[in-house]
A and B are shown apart, each in its own frame.
Chain A
Amino acid sequence: MLQFGKFVLTRAFLAAFTLVIISLVVFTLMEFVPGDCAERYLAFKNTQGSGISVEDIEIERKRLGLDKPFVQRWTLWIVNAFQGEFGDSCILRVDIAQLLGTKFWLSLGICLSSLVLAYMIALPVGIISAASSNAYLNNGLKLISYLGLAMPNFLLALMIMLFSTIYFGDTLTGLFSKEYRDAEWSIDKFIDLLKHAWLPVFILGWSATAFALQTVRALMSDEIGKLYVTAAAARGIYGRRLLWRYPARHALSPIVNSLGFDLNRVFNELPIVALILTLTDAGALLIESLARSNDQQLAGAIIFLLTATIVSLNFLTDILLAVLDPRIRKSLVH
């Protein structure tokens, strides 16, 4: 038990350390964006008709604390970030935590559901296809899963949208119907969300499935050839029982281990799909803040939140693996 506690502590420390490194990277990147928040805000004011001068910019800089040295600002940013405070957006002039709030959770929900969908399909299909020697089945699965990798997500999204517009007269865009968009959370709103969310989940899930299927298959066919499986078969275990109890258990641990990175991959594709389906989630905000308006404060907050989620997921899967597999727990402590 003590050993396990030590393991959890080491992992937690490592996760926190990774987050600090990433925050440094993100913060430095934000610094590199041409122009700073003060200039951007006053430039906006200028378009509204009020004249500005160099002194105004300096005063605004002081107000935002931009005149302090880099390290000090970074420390302040990271301390606030861990408390969920990201300051105000440069362009929109609203509190970022408030702006992102539910949007971020919605994005996370969409990504996690597509990941769940992907593994629900990929695990059984991958295991069966690795075990079977049917060339047609294997090649067919290969083709479908590679098509999932090669076919750009946005194209799939576009085609489904076009199809539904022509045949059902519904564009399937957005996450909520008009009447629920600003409504309080309720059962009805949730049902409405489910009605809209299946499409992004499906689109993101497709390529995730393709990827997961490939991994599961490769891992399983590696394990199936090993001697312990032959030994188990020699003892008279066969069929599904043999597959699930011997090679599948071994193949599963690298998969659990890489869940965090899988989430990363799904997150990656979210902004593009969101752009096409006009979802009002964090991904779309990210594109908006980077591509259109250079809003570094908002972009940094979103990237930090994403990576924090992935790091925590990695931490959780590490703990889960250690619970499941004593070899890992023992190997890491000393």
Chain B
Amino acid sequence: MTEQNQLDILQNSLQDQKTKEAYFTASQGQLVWARFKKQRAAMIAATVLVILIISGVLAPFLSPYDPTIAGRDKDYLNGAPNIPMFCDKNGCSIRPFLHTIERKRNLATNFRWVEKVNEDERRYMQFFVTGSDYKLLGFVPGNIHLFGINEGFVHLFGTDASGKDIFSRTLHAIWTSLQVGTLGVFIAFVLALLIGGVSGYYGGWIDSILQMLTDAVRTIPAIPLFMAIAAFIPQEWTAEMRFFFISLILGLIGWPTLARRVRTHLLTERNQEYVLAAQLCGASSSHVIRRHLLPSFTSYIIVDLVISFPYMVLSETALSFIGLGLKDPVNSLGVMLQKVTSADVLLNYQWYFIPVIFFITLVMAFVFVGDGLRDAADPYSDNKK
């Protein structure tokens, strides 16, 4: 055996030891991340999800116009999407441009507005333009928009019946739906931890009563209940009040599934030796719960939160869809979906469907990420395969 060979073997074994050591000393988070990275579908979904969330957060900056009636283009109602181009019959340009549209109404057109594209005149896209004022995340003021056009309007996804830019509305809608979902999940989560935790930790008759309550709530069909509660919202409530109320309802109804899981987990964990050891050492209930029991299933809880998120978004959509949730001046995905239901839209204005694609993508991304996280958080998932 040559010297070089021996050195190689030594280095390899050192390398091995290092990876092993890294494996044994890794924190729970690092292990989960390492397993998560291996799943291609979940990684793609995570990327998509991050992009969607960022575009939701930065919606006011990324969208060229105000999504409310203030930003409407009154000369372009139900207008088709404008697709910026680089080349036309007069040659190419590096800066993307649109053609000018001329609207005419006279005897020849039977006094109806007729739009004609003038292919010789170009309107160039501008970047980082100054436009309508906005507040990022509700407090960072600004008026710079990522893109705009030097004259007139640019509508990447077309406009709706009142001339509002569908691209801007979609981005803002993602943000609203995410907010409703987060708030709903948060309320459900706190309730689930409290109720599931108490019933799982104490067991006995407290558990029986709380379980009966949980089952009762689970038995009531959610959407009819949503509808019943949402019907009480007075018409004169502002958009914000409606928004919080809807999130509150979503949370109040969404907790039983999570609470059940927390309880089941606690019931098995509380009989483990380490809990008994802590109790024998004189640790109080709250100490045992905080220091020993909660950390034992944080990863499960995170996974459950991610999984229940799309259902919150779906419920919000369903509620807004039947006209009981958020309403038109607010942009949520449910409000956007409601618009596609008329036959007129189906046959003539297909660009109303673009938000639907975003909606499906958002829900799918969440579900795939949740699925990947579940596999990654389960330490035995490798052994099974």
Contact = CB atoms under 8 A, between A and B. Distances in A.
| A and B assemble together | yes
Interface stretch (A112-120, A187-195, A262-270): A262-270
B318 A272 contact: yes
Interface in A140-198: 142, 146-147, 149-152, 154-155, 158, 162
B219 A260 contact: yes
A146 B365 CA distance: 10
A29 B229 CA distance: 7
A154 B321 contact: yes
A232 interface: no
Interface residues of B, number: 46
Contacts of B232: 32-34
A150 B384 contact: no
Contact residues on A (Cβ < 8 Å of other chain), bracket: 35 or more
Kindly list the 8 A-B residue pairs having the minimum CB-CB distance in the complex, ordered from nearest: A150-B363, A268-B223, A225-B384, A21-B216, A290-B227, A290-B231, A267-B221, A150-B364
B218 A261 contact: yes
Contact of A310 (B213, B219, B228): B219
B90 interface: no
Contacts of B328: none
Contacts of A314: 215, 219
A133 interface: yes
Nearest to B385: A133
B256 to A, nearest CB: 10
A33 to B, nearest CB: 6
B254 interface: no
Contact of B231 (A133, A149, A291): A291
Given A14-B212, A154-B341, A271 B227 contact: yes
20 contacts: A22-B219, A25-B216, A29-B225, A149-B310, A149-B363, A150-B364, A154-B321, A154-B337, A158-B346, A162-B343, A225-B383, A261-B219, A275-B322, A276-B341, A287-B227, A291-B227, A303-B220, A306-B221, A310-B219, A314-B219
Contacts of B58: none
A32 B249 CA distance: 15
A162 B231 CA distance: 31
A18 interface: yes
B302 interface: no
Interface in A49-102: none
| Interface secondary structure of A, over-half rule | helix
Contact of A221 (B216, B230, B314, B384): B384
B228 A290 contact: yes
A303 B224 contact: yes
Contacts of B229: 29
Nearest to B361: A150
B356 interface: yes
A219 interface: no
B220 A25 contact: yes
A18 B219 contact: yes
A278 interface: no
A158 B341 CA distance: 7
